[in-house]
Chain A
């Protein structure tokens, strides 16, 4: 198994107390798997993604383990994680547009970065150029300053840079949010290409846009209010989801060919709960159309069929 996460708990320290942003996450990702991580704002997906590679204050590690390629990652130790960063686990951040030093030529920055990680720039340069070709960027980009690039170009550059040392795990955090639709498709396809060529072993693609995941993800993990709701292959999540939240999420997506004069587009009424003091039991209880008395107890994240995990009391019974 490429990535194994067990009982991961990461809270945010605030003046008013700890916000339970990520509570008890357990799941696996295989080599070569692209897993989409979906959910509303504030559901904990960015916390999950970032805590694997850079758990900095105000994030606080509570408990849990993260194993990559059978090696335990010391995610709570900022210093010790350095040797894993970039080489074993890497990230394309949400702020990729501004991720490069504005006063340094891109090539110079890359060479300085590699040198500082004890990787020879000279030896890597050829591979770098090959990858630039793959994402359709000219080699001349290395002589330019970030300010000279468009948003899409910067995104692709960061994609190439983050994956340059062939990490086992790549975390892509909302990388398509700031782009137009056609660039979104292009970037999404590049991600898949990188995986196919084994530049990256496995990926976690964080987004609130399920349609992108439909295109490129092998599996999807849906989160709600800091807890895992459902994980299954993309096909299953889109066509036969089991968790009530996932069902509502999917049905709230517009579908091609359906005219909404006939059928109203359903949203999900209500608001996500505050995570400073989360509600007892299932966190979706208040907005759930099928909640019942057992829901006052927290449902565990259980495998109900092969590779299909759900945290919902209603759904276990069906497979009992």
Chain B
């Protein structure tokens, strides 16, 4: 057990290290004087430009050796100091991120959990009959092949513009200020619905297909045949098959995180939903490299944590991993 987790932690640590290094290294590979470039492109107000120059020089630490710059970066990181945003100057990056995080989480977590649950249940259900299977299968593949942003656009257009039922921009009405009133909460939900549905549907297709394939595999296994030969009722066999098929699906979830991140970013962009993804794009468009670095780091850390959680969940759910690790056997 310790070896398993030890190895995982090693990988995550190396990954984190690598990611932070990439994050730090990239601005330095830009041609020319990075700060001049920055200022020129950012087109700051004149009074701000001088302040920015000194600040940037200090911030990039270009007055010290490269190695020292690198260490400084790490130091700042551990202090939670991700710098100051350019495009939302003078707000610190960390603060901006914190404001965007709840929106992303509220979109991401329910979408992942619900699509995982519903998709898997449906996939298992679809594997029951040939007719159902033959219609569900192509549908599922088409759903999972649908680009996230296209689905988002379609939903926005059909339900948002044409039907006029849902709003298609922002997290809440522009005329409202955050409060604990029903109007506000309703507005939140209204704005949340379409992006959520978009993320949900694509995920749903993927999980349904995966589970359908896995469950067919499990139903063909020896233990299924034995139970059938002993006359066990259909639902007992299906229950066992489902539980066993769920295991590789959970591993699959960890593998899908990259794709889900991409989908999240793009969906937020379509709906101008002020989450981390949207912030990321804004940072890119405004050449706000600090914000960009902050978002990137944040995403990496979240993905690593999610991976770790999934690893733990998997060990809890699959008894074989625990036995194998303790060195079981007769």
Interface residue B90 (Cβ < 8 Å from any Cβ of A): no
- Asked if A145 contacts B320 (CB within 8 A), the reply is yes
Instruction: Tell whether A103 pairs with B244 under 8 Å between CB atoms, given A83-B231, A113-B236.
Output: yes
Whole-angstrom CA separation of A116 from B233 in the bound complex: 7
Which residue of chain B is the closest to A53 with respect to CB atoms?
Answer: B229
A84, A103, A150, A153: most-surrounded residue (chain B CB, <10 A): A103
- Asked if B320 contacts A117 (CB within 8 A), the reply is no
Interface residue B47 (Cβ < 8 Å from any Cβ of A): no
Closest-CB distance, A108 to chain B (whole angstroms): 11
| CB-defined contacts of B323 to chain A, threshold 8 Å | 145, 147-148
- Asked if A95 contacts B225 (CB within 8 A), the reply is yes
| CB-defined contacts of A117 to chain B, threshold 8 Å | 230-233
The residue from A85, A148, A153 contacting B328, defined by CB atoms under 8 A apart: A148
Q: What size tier do the contact residues of chain A reach?
A: 35 or more
Whole-angstrom CA separation of A127 from B247 in the bound complex: 34
- Asked if B222 contacts A98 (CB within 8 A), the reply is yes
| CB-defined contacts of B233 to chain A, threshold 8 Å | 82, 116-117
The residue from B229, B320, B330 contacting A149, defined by CB atoms under 8 A apart: B330
Interface residue A62 (Cβ < 8 Å from any Cβ of B): no
- Asked if A99 contacts B226 (CB within 8 A), the reply is yes
Whole-angstrom CA separation of A40 from B128 in the bound complex: 37
Give B5-38 interface residues, CB cut-off 8 Å to A: none
Closest-CB distance, A274 to chain B (whole angstroms): 27
Whole-angstrom CA separation of A102 from B227 in the bound complex: 13
- Asked if B320 contacts A103 (CB within 8 A), the reply is yes
Interface residue A76 (Cβ < 8 Å from any Cβ of B): no
- Asked if A113 contacts B222 (CB within 8 A), the reply is no
Give A63-103 interface residues, CB cut-off 8 Å to B: 81-87, 90-91, 93, 95-96, 98-103
Interface residue A30 (Cβ < 8 Å from any Cβ of B): no
Closest-CB distance, A92 to chain B (whole angstroms): 9
Give B282-330 interface residues, CB cut-off 8 Å to A: 318-320, 323-324, 328-330
The residue from B231, B319, B329, B330 contacting A85, defined by CB atoms under 8 A apart: B231
* Chain A, interface SS category: loop
A81, A83, A148, A149: most-surrounded residue (chain B CB, <10 A): A148
- Asked if B324 contacts A54 (CB within 8 A), the reply is no
Whole-angstrom CA separation of A82 from B237 in the bound complex: 13
| CB-defined contacts of A149 to chain B, threshold 8 Å | 330
Interface residue A112 (Cβ < 8 Å from any Cβ of B): yes
| CB-defined contacts of A103 to chain B, threshold 8 Å | 243-244, 247, 318-320
| CB-defined contacts of B74 to chain A, threshold 8 Å | none
- What number of residue pairs across chains A and B have CB atoms under 8 A from each other? 81
Interface residue A162 (Cβ < 8 Å from any Cβ of B): yes
- Asked if B320 contacts A113 (CB within 8 A), the reply is no
- Asked if A86 contacts B330 (CB within 8 A), the reply is no
| CB-defined contacts of B221 to chain A, threshold 8 Å | 98
Interface residue A294 (Cβ < 8 Å from any Cβ of B): no
Interface residue B223 (Cβ < 8 Å from any Cβ of A): yes
Closest-CB distance, A86 to chain B (whole angstroms): 4
The residue from B223, B226, B244, B320 contacting A147, defined by CB atoms under 8 A apart: B320
Interface residue A104 (Cβ < 8 Å from any Cβ of B): yes
Give A137-152 interface residues, CB cut-off 8 Å to B: 145, 147-150
Digit string of B233-251 for contact with A (CB within 8 Å is 1, else 0)? 1001000100110010000
Interface residue B228 (Cβ < 8 Å from any Cβ of A): yes
Closest-CB distance, A70 to chain B (whole angstroms): 20
- Asked if A95 contacts B222 (CB within 8 A), the reply is yes
Whole-angstrom CA separation of A113 from B235 in the bound complex: 11
- Asked if A113 contacts B230 (CB within 8 A), the reply is yes
| CB-defined contacts of A162 to chain B, threshold 8 Å | 230
| CB-defined contacts of A91 to chain B, threshold 8 Å | 229-230
Whole-angstrom CA separation of A314 from B318 in the bound complex: 62
Which residue of chain B is the closest to A99 with respect to CB atoms?
Answer: B226
Contact residues of B with A, CB < 8 Å?
A: 221-223, 225-233, 236, 240, 243-244, 247, 318-320, 323-324, 328-330
Can you give 26 contacting A-B residue pairs, CB < 8 Å? A53-B229, A54-B228, A83-B231, A86-B230, A87-B231, A91-B229, A93-B222, A93-B225, A95-B225, A96-B226, A98-B221, A99-B222, A99-B223, A99-B225, A99-B226, A100-B226, A103-B243, A103-B247, A103-B319, A112-B236, A113-B230, A145-B319, A145-B320, A147-B323, A150-B329, A150-B330
A-B interface, 10 closest residue pairs, ranked by CB to CB distance from nearest: A85-B231, A99-B226, A98-B222, A82-B231, A86-B230, A150-B330, A95-B222, A148-B328, A54-B229, A101-B223
Q: A145-B319, A145-B323 are in contact. List 17 more A-B contacts (CB 8 A).
A: A85-B231, A86-B231, A87-B231, A91-B229, A93-B229, A95-B225, A99-B225, A101-B223, A112-B236, A113-B227, A113-B236, A117-B231, A145-B320, A147-B320, A148-B323, A148-B328, A149-B330
Contact residues of A with B, CB < 8 Å?
A: 53-54, 56, 81-87, 90-91, 93, 95-96, 98-105, 112-113, 116-117, 145, 147-150, 153, 158, 162
